[in-house]
Structure 1
Amino acid sequence: MRAIKLLITSAIALLVLLTGIVLTIHNTTPVVIDLVWVKLPEASLSIWLIISMVVGLLVGILLTSARVLTLRAKLLNSARKLRNAEQQIETLNREVQRGAE
C-alpha cells in the first residue's frame, strides 16, 4: 500500500513539474495584471499562471482543512458521547443484575 501511495504521489509530482515546464515554454509573453485597485508588475504569462495555480491550491487546502477540522471535532464529540452511553449501559446492567440476585 505504501509503495502504491509513493507511486501515485511521484506521478502527480512529475505531472505538476511537466505542466510547469510546458507553461514556461509556451507562455513567454510579458503581461501586466491589472486588478482594478492595483497593477501588478510585468512578468511572463507563465509566471502569472503558475502563481495563480499555487494561490488556488493554497486557498483550496485552507478551505478543506477548515472543513476537516470541523468534522474531526464532531467525530471526537460523538465518540465521547458513545463512550459515556456505553458506560451508562454497563452501570445499568450491573444494577439490574444486582437487583435480580
Structure 2
Amino acid sequence: MITLDARKEKVGDLLRVSFQTQIKFFLSNTKTKAAKSVIYNYIDIFTKDVEIINLMKEYEAQTNKKLAITLPSEEVPSRDAWVNSSIIFDSRT
C-alpha cells in the first residue's frame, strides 16, 4: 500500500500544477475574478512560490490591479504544508 508520506511530494506537485493550469485557463479566457479566487486559494494552501508570483504578475498586468496579499515574513511554510491545510483535508474525517 502506498502511504501519503511516501508520495506527499508528488501529490503536492500534481495539486500545484492543477491550480496553476486552472489560473492560466482563467487568465487566457479573461475570467479574472475566477483567476483571482484561485490565486488566493493557492497561496492559502501552498504559500507564495516562484510559480504563483509569475501568475500574480500576469494577473496584475492583465487587470491593472494589484493583488492584496500579505504573508508574515518570519513564517515561510514548507512546500509540504498543504498536507495540513483545512482547505484540502476536512478535519472531521
Superposition TM-score, scaled by structure 1 size: 0.29
Superposition TM-score, scaled by structure 2 size: 0.31
Larger Rg, first or second structure (1 or 2): 1
More helix by share: 1
Which protein has greater RCO, CA pairs closer than 8 Å, 6+ apart?
A: 2
